[in-house]
Structure 1
Amino acid sequence: MAGSKGVVLAALFANGAIAIMKFGGFLLTGSPSMLSETYHSISDTGNQIFLLVGIRFSEKESSREHPFGYGKAQFFYSFLVAVLLFGIAGWESAKHGYNAIVHGGHGAAGTITLAGATFPSWYVNVVVLLGAIGFETYALSKANAEMQRQIDHYGWSGIREAFDKMSDVTTLTAFTEDTIALLGAALALVGILLSKATGNEVYDAVAALLIGFMLMGFALALAWENKRLILGESLPADVEADLRDVVTGTPRVVHLDTFRTVYVGPQTVLVTMDVSFDPQTEAGDIDGIISDIEDRLLKTDDRIQHVYVEPEV
């Protein structure tokens, strides 16, 4: 949890600074892609706030109403990020870019005078975007470090497998968002430079449209990833197979009748099972065998926090 919170705080600092820089660049130049990038960074900043709220809420102690804790709050708030922030910001960005293509935009032509110095207005956007790329690189490095730590810890083959199996949606969201932010800044930079080189402002507008599409695509992908966890996804089949072997390898266990797992929060798994014991097992020994099963499972996978064993005759 501490790793996830550090990732979010780093991204919040970076995106807050970037949003202010980009909005200032838009006010000075009127560039369509800079407005899209402003929407992008505002959504990123709101994203981090939602994720921090989710982390804080998920840390609440379990209660009668929520006997397995509030871990799924992170899934819910990450889903809100997708629907409310990235979806809306992406739509507004795409709409602004489309209008700029069809009706024309202000572009980034002309000059600007600041502190007595006069220079082409497009310089402002280039400087702002280069600064944004620097901030986003810092945030992405923090998210990537946490991603790689979990990939190494759980033995995943790489980022692709991590996306399929990861339950830490906070880190997953931050990593993807920082990657998309870098791509968005690069698109805006290319659009502005092409408009400057050709004298055709449509490239700037097209960059704004593409940024909007990219944000909406991310919103759909993030919503889909959270859906599987909100609905109660189990551990991957290969992990479950290893856990089954742990149970059947416990002395006095003759058969594993049922075995179920489900995420009740990021990195938190509930396991239930029906187990048949050796008929010669004394009733007084069953509690000790069940405790042994629980200890073996917890040592095998640190995500397992709750184990319920139903003994069968």
Structure 2
Amino acid sequence: MAELQGRLRENIVVYGALFANVGIAIAKFVAAAVSGSSSMLTEGVHSLVDSGNQILLLYGQANARRPADATHPFGYGRELYFWAFVVAILIFAVGAGVSIYEGWLHIAEPEPLRDPMINYVVLTFAMLLEGTSWAIAVREFNGKRGASSWWQLIRRSKDPAGFIVLFEDSAALIGLAIAGIGVWASHHYGDPRIDGIASIAIGFILAGVAVLLAREAKGLLIGESADPAMISAVWMILDKRPQISAVNHVRTIHTAPDAVFVAISAEFIDDLPMGEAESLIEDIKRELKAHIPELTSIYIRPEKQADAVRQPPRA
């Protein structure tokens, strides 16, 4: 029970966005059918795609928790990064593609204007739900941000679920504002093509968000190093050991959002017996795991290099 509660807490951003988007999608499709609004239909597709994206992220998180086995000795954590990349593709291909296509059709073959009141009601309802989901995402993000800017935290983040929801909700709020302006302008100026232009504008916003998400997801999928502060902590622990005469390199890679593999090449002092070297390696591993729990796999290789230079801890 405690584990289930922990997972619900961990995924509160994704669950909040999922419940909001399902309700909003239904309301938008009903409004689009009644009013004939292209931008409202586009917004319905947008919310439907977002709902599917949240389901994929939850699926990816569930698969990423599978334990390591012979086929995947470092576990399945990076599967989440694969599904994050799929989400970015879906936003671009389905969300942006359908929005631009629908907008173009509405410009080429404008539909007669109908009573926009239901659109305004649904847009207000959607703003409230999306705003709530966005506020949850911002609160969770701010809790991790510290002194960093949002963009710095997004670039450093190894958990794509949080920043994907933040990007999606931000794009959704902007899209709702554009849809509202499009519906109002279409009726104010008596020109239904304006609604189609609004739909195309929403599509371009989604395309831009998809490109940003794909860029971040690609980096995680290929493999990114740990946060500089974590690497610095590893260097500091190694520097305290007088038996180590030089550290050649410390290389890290995330195997999951909260799991890091570290490979250390170090030169030990010449008169250190083999037995003491083995004990030293085990001691260092225990100390690293105690101070940095995210280090799930630690590899330390004693290695002499004639040109090895002791590097200072990284800030």
Which TM-score applies when normalising by structure 2?
0.88
Deviates more, 1:131-140 or 1:156-165: 156-165
Corresponding residue for residue 114 of structure 1 = none
Tell me which residue corresponds to 1:203.
Answer: 194
- 2:82 is aligned to 76
Instruction: Give 1:59-74 correspondences, 5 Å limit.
Output: 59-74=65-80
CA displacement 1:269-290 (0-9 Å, x = unmatched): 1100111122233333223422
- Counterparts of 1:158-177 in structure 2, within 5 Å, are 158-177=149-168
CA displacement 1:49-93 (0-9 Å, x = unmatched)? 101110110111111111111111110111111113442221011
Residue-pair matches, total: 298
User: Which residue type is aligned with residue 126 of structure 1?
Assistant: Y
Larger CA deviation: 28-37 vs 98-107: 98-107
Corresponding position of 2:308: none
Aligned match of 2:106: 100
- Given the superposition, is the C-alpha separation of residues 68 and 273 from structure 1 closer, same or farther in structure 2, using an over 3 Å criterion? same
Question: Does structure 2 conserve the Cα–Cα contact (< 8 Å) formed by 1:143 and 1:175?
Answer: yes
Give the Cα–Cα distance (whole angstroms) in 2 for the partners of residues 160 and 85 of structure 1: 20
CA distances 1:71-119 after superposition (whole Å, capped 9, x unpaired): 1111011111111344222101111112212332344x2xxxxxxxxxx
Deviations for 1:152-188, whole angstroms, at most 9, x for unmatched residues? 3xxx512110121111001111111111111111111
Residues 188 and 8 from structure 1, CA distance in 2 versus in 1: closer, same or farther, beyond 3 angstroms?
A: same
Matched with 1:151 is 145
Question: What does 1:265-284 correspond to in 2, within 5 Å?
Answer: 265-284=256-275
Residue 55 (1) aligns with residue 61 (2): yes
Is the CA contact (8 Å cut-off) linking 1:94 and 1:212 kept in structure 2? yes
Counterparts in 2 of 1:218 and 1:71: CA distance versus 1, 3 Å: same
Q: Does 1:220 align with 2:211?
A: yes
| Pairwise CA distance, 1:30 | 0.6
Asked if 2 retains the 8 angstrom alpha-carbon contact of 1:4 and 1:170, the reply is no
- Once the two structures are superposed, the pairs formed by residues 1-313 of structure 1 within 5 Å of their partners are 2=7, 3-107=9-113, 109=114, 121-152=115-146, 157-237=148-228, 239-312=230-303
Give the root-mean-square deviation of aligned CA atoms.
1.9
* Aligned-partner Cα distance in 2 for 1:69–1:178: 31
How far is 1:234 from its partner? 1.3
Q: Secondary structure at the match of 2:241?
A: coil
Q: More displaced, 240-249 or 79-88? A: 240-249
Does the 8 Å contact 1:105/1:205 carry over to 2? no
| Distance apart, 1:132 and its partner CA | 0.5
Decide whether the 8 Å contact of 1:261 with 1:271 is kept in 2: yes
Counterpart of 2:173, as a letter, is L
SS in 2 for 1:69: coil
Q: Structure 2: how far apart are the matches of 1:199 and 1:267?
A: 55
Cα displacement (A) at 1:205: 1.5
Task: Output the CA distance in 1 between the equivalents of 2:283 and 2:16.
Answer: 41
SS at 2:265 equivalent: strand
